[in-house]
A and B are shown apart, each in its own frame.
Chain A
Amino acid sequence: MENVLGIINLINEKQHLKELTAHRNVASVPFGGRYRLIDFTMSNFINADVSKVAVFPKEKYLSVMDHLGSGKEWNLDRRSGGLHILPPIHPDEKVTGDMKQFYDHLSFFERAEADTVIISPGCHVCKLDFNEVLDYHKKHKADITVVYKDYVGELIEKPIYNTCSVDSDEDITDISFYTIPKPGDHVCLETFVISKALLVNLIKSCVASGEYDFLKDAVKANLHRFTVKGYNFTGDMPFIHSIESFHSSNMNFLNPTVIRSFFGDTWDVYTKIKHEAPTKYSRSSKVTNSLIANGCVIEGTVENSILFRGVKVKKGAIIRNSIIMQKGEIEEDAIVENIITDKEVKITSEKTVIGLNQPTVIKKAEVI
């Protein structure tokens, strides 16, 4: 796509994945056997041929920087365009809002050759075609297009989603903050299309008047002044708002139809290459209904589970309904059920760990 600047906005991340976000931002949370959440947004940009992408992290961004590197896995190691990571420039100051951090990097926006900006967070697992959103934006001569999705799923405990009201002309008429959406409510996906000129003006004027939140101070405050359209995203996208929904949306991928729909021939989801060997199954391995990444060595039993890259499952070990992240080691005769182990967890031999009522997380590098 010509003249489009992609922004991955991590400034408004909410910490509802508890232990999984203790030492990393939400965008870096591992997902689906070999990905990080941010890979889906990155790939949405790459699949739409957006060749200039800037990531705005707020905190705990070491893992996202390590993951994205020079951007070469996404073909973003370019002389013109490419990947930019723009963290807060005053690390001691509390970040007051995304507009403040955009303002601190205002010259980046001003210098960018793009005339349109697409802003998206780094936490949605979906195939969102930005070309279609952009066409919609142009066709409706919108000043700002807000992407929303009708809520599906169980009742959420905490009010964490922003919802929007849309009239029959697809105009956004109101935005409500921190709500508990009912099924069918329009959840704002924090994904927007806006012209660069308007965005730069809004960044300047908001910050000048001490307003720092893009959705509240730039979009909602201007609903009557601008044409703000709602684009209804109807594709697959799990709402991940808790450890349980994280677990179940991973488990949704234990289904050939879902795998094909997300990773079909025409839509690659790119991630960091680890150069792991193919996975090795021994004589004693018993694997059923599981998603297995490369570099694993499986000598035990794995049922209804997801193994990330480089997981070792020793003889006699049993893993059921669990997610074992990168380089986990499940030793001889250990039993792991209904568990999410973060990276590099070791369950020593003959230990049993079971998540009783809900999936339980075992913290990074813990040895049990």
Chain B
Amino acid sequence: MGAKKWIAMLLAGGQGSRLGELTIGLAKPAVPFGGKYRIIDFPLSNCTHSGIDTVGVLTQYQPLILNDYVGNGKAWDLDLDVGGVSVLPPYQGKEGGEWYKGTANAVYQNIQYIDNYDPEHVLILSGDHIYKMDYSKMLDYHIEKNAEATIAVIQVPWQEASRFGIMNTNDDDKVTQFDEKPKYPKSNLASMGVYLFNWKTLRRYLINDEKDATSSNDFGSNIIPKMLEDRKKLYAYRFNDYWKDVGTVESLWQAHMDLLEEKPNFQLDDQQWKIFARNANHPPQYISSDAEVSQSLINEGCMIHGKIEHSVLSYNVQVGYGSTIKDSVIMPNVTIGENVHIERSIIASNCIIENGAVVGNSAVTSDITLIGENQTIINPNKKKITLN
């Protein structure tokens, strides 16, 4: 097998517990996004566009939907004989096996997979963010700087900097210090969770990290600080485009609302950088004579008889007569009856909202209402019909 220039390892094992009921039955990277996609489509499409043809997807928490979705990778043109996409759950070897203990340990347990391709560089990605990024530019930068590791960073507002892993750098953007969620940040360059390593160096650090019983085996908390301690050449690569962490119900909702701006900062319909997704086959959407649709994104298979205002509707959503959906995100296969009112809500896949039901709170100060998968919401005022 010929050596690969670089390969990517996508950390997709996290639960994403801050997404509440959305991640009961599926891992965070499998959460639907943007009316058509799942979060993992963004890093996978970035890989395709950046010319990365080998991606290991490390799964652990609720992997079934994710495994099935990634499949053989053909949606992302990653169905190759050598390389392509491989789903890598924890496995048993001769010495036994164990769960992935942390992000670094997950990659450590797959050293053999990476060695198979003998890559010069390994890109570590996470499945938590919405962004379009050409990783090949980061690789050029990494080579130009003769770095041993390069960490993609984005400038965040100073007041939010203490929520992120912050990179302190010198004038040349060489990383001098890494502060995980600092109380008093010295910089506003936040790590995007995108790391590029020279494989030989990373391999050594992973093995040593594994021997350290006190380590939590995490890239951010252990590997990066250790490399800095050893005065390795680490560089920050500045990314200046849209990047959104969608790890909470609020941020997931906000990222959807961002898409609805007249001139959004993040466009899904960029012909030069299409976001690939495993497509289910659905007919075009039907907007009936009684429907009113404004400032919304609607996907195939939808049948709309009601009023849709400033919302994102995923595929196969049915909306009955007299219903209103405002400032909301409706995930696939949701059936909404007649005279329903939904506002400031996220409705997860396969829910049924019965005639006359009301979901959500219109006050802008209120929390976003989340209805988890497969639920039926009834109209509380509905008279019970009893059969004799």
The residues of A with any CB-CB pair to B shorter than 8 Å are 32-34, 72, 254, 256, 259, 262-263, 268-271, 273, 275-295, 297, 306-307
From residue 258 to 303 of chain B, which have CB atoms closer than 8 A to chain A?
262, 267-269, 274-277, 279, 281-301, 303
* Given A32-B283, A271-B281, A282 contacting B295 (CB threshold 8 A): yes
**Chain B positions within 8 Å of A282 at CB level:** 262, 294-295
Most A Cβ at <10 Å: residue of B75, B283, B290, B308: B283
Q: Please name the 3 residue pairs, one residue from A and one from B, whose CB atoms are nearest each other, closest first.
A: A33-B284, A277-B268, A278-B35
The residue in chain A whose Cβ has the minimal distance to the Cβ of B314 is A278
* Given A278-B312, A280-B297, A293 contacting B291 (CB threshold 8 A): no
The answer to the question of B163 belonging to the interface, with a C-beta cut-off of 8 Å to chain A, is: no
**Chain A positions within 8 Å of B341 at CB level:** none
**Chain B positions within 8 Å of A263 at CB level:** 282-283, 301
**B289 near A277: Cβ-Cβ < 8 Å:** no
**A278 near B284: Cβ-Cβ < 8 Å:** no
How many whole Å from B270's CB to the nearest CB in chain A? 8
**B286 near A285: Cβ-Cβ < 8 Å:** no
**A34 near B284: Cβ-Cβ < 8 Å:** yes
The answer to the question of B360 belonging to the interface, with a C-beta cut-off of 8 Å to chain A, is: no
* Complexed CA–CA distance, A174 and B279 (Å): 46
Query: Among A32, A34, A289, A297, which residue has its beta carbon within 8 angstroms of that of B287?
Result: A289
* Complexed CA–CA distance, A280 and B276 (Å): 18
**Chain B positions within 8 Å of A288 at CB level:** 287-291
**B283 near A278: Cβ-Cβ < 8 Å:** no
* Given A278-B312, A293-B300, A262 contacting B283 (CB threshold 8 A): yes
**Chain B positions within 8 Å of A284 at CB level:** 294
Most A Cβ at <10 Å: residue of B262, B298, B303, B312: B298
The residue in chain B whose Cβ has the minimal distance to the Cβ of A72 is B74
**Chain A positions within 8 Å of B296 at CB level:** 280-281
**Chain A positions within 8 Å of B121 at CB level:** none
The answer to the question of B34 belonging to the interface, with a C-beta cut-off of 8 Å to chain A, is: yes
**Chain B positions within 8 Å of A295 at CB level:** 269
**A259 near B281: Cβ-Cβ < 8 Å:** no
The residues of B with any CB-CB pair to A shorter than 8 Å are 34-36, 74-75, 262, 267-269, 274-277, 279, 281-301, 303, 308, 312-314
How many whole Å from B277's CB to the nearest CB in chain A? 7
Query: Among B274, B282, B287, which residue has its beta carbon within 8 angstroms of that of A290?
Result: B287
* Complexed CA–CA distance, A286 and B284 (Å): 17
**Chain B positions within 8 Å of A72 at CB level:** 74
Total A-B contacts with CB atoms under 8 angstroms apart: 109
**Chain A positions within 8 Å of B74 at CB level:** 72
**A269 near B281: Cβ-Cβ < 8 Å:** yes
Specify the main secondary structure of chain B where it touches its partner.
loop
Given contacts A287-B293, A293-B285, 19 further A-B contacts (CB under 8 A): A254-B286, A275-B274, A275-B279, A276-B269, A277-B275, A278-B299, A278-B300, A278-B313, A278-B314, A280-B269, A281-B295, A281-B308, A283-B295, A285-B293, A288-B290, A289-B287, A291-B283, A292-B285, A306-B284
**A278 near B297: Cβ-Cβ < 8 Å:** yes
**Chain A positions within 8 Å of B300 at CB level:** 34, 278, 293-294
**A259 near B303: Cβ-Cβ < 8 Å:** yes
**Chain A positions within 8 Å of B290 at CB level:** 288
How many whole Å from B97's CB to the nearest CB in chain A? 33
**Chain B positions within 8 Å of A285 at CB level:** 293-294
**Chain A positions within 8 Å of B303 at CB level:** 256, 259
**Chain B positions within 8 Å of A306 at CB level:** 284
How many whole Å from A349's CB to the nearest CB in chain B? 19
* Complexed CA–CA distance, A281 and B288 (Å): 15
* Given A277-B36, A281-B293, A295-B269, A287 contacting B287 (CB threshold 8 A): yes
**A292 near B36: Cβ-Cβ < 8 Å:** no
* Complexed CA–CA distance, A32 and B283 (Å): 8
How many whole Å from B335's CB to the nearest CB in chain A? 13
Query: Among B282, B283, B298, which residue has its beta carbon within 8 angstroms of that of A279?
Result: B298
Most A Cβ at <10 Å: residue of B274, B286, B298: B286
* Complexed CA–CA distance, A262 and B301 (Å): 12
* Given A288-B288, A289-B288, A278 contacting B36 (CB threshold 8 A): yes
**Chain B positions within 8 Å of A286 at CB level:** 292
**A291 near B35: Cβ-Cβ < 8 Å:** no
How many whole Å from A82's CB to the nearest CB in chain B? 14
**B295 near A277: Cβ-Cβ < 8 Å:** no
**Chain A positions within 8 Å of B291 at CB level:** 287-288
How many whole Å from B144's CB to the nearest CB in chain A? 32
Most A Cβ at <10 Å: residue of B74, B274, B275, B285: B285
* Complexed CA–CA distance, A273 and B281 (Å): 9
* Given A278-B297, A283-B262, A291 contacting B275 (CB threshold 8 A): no
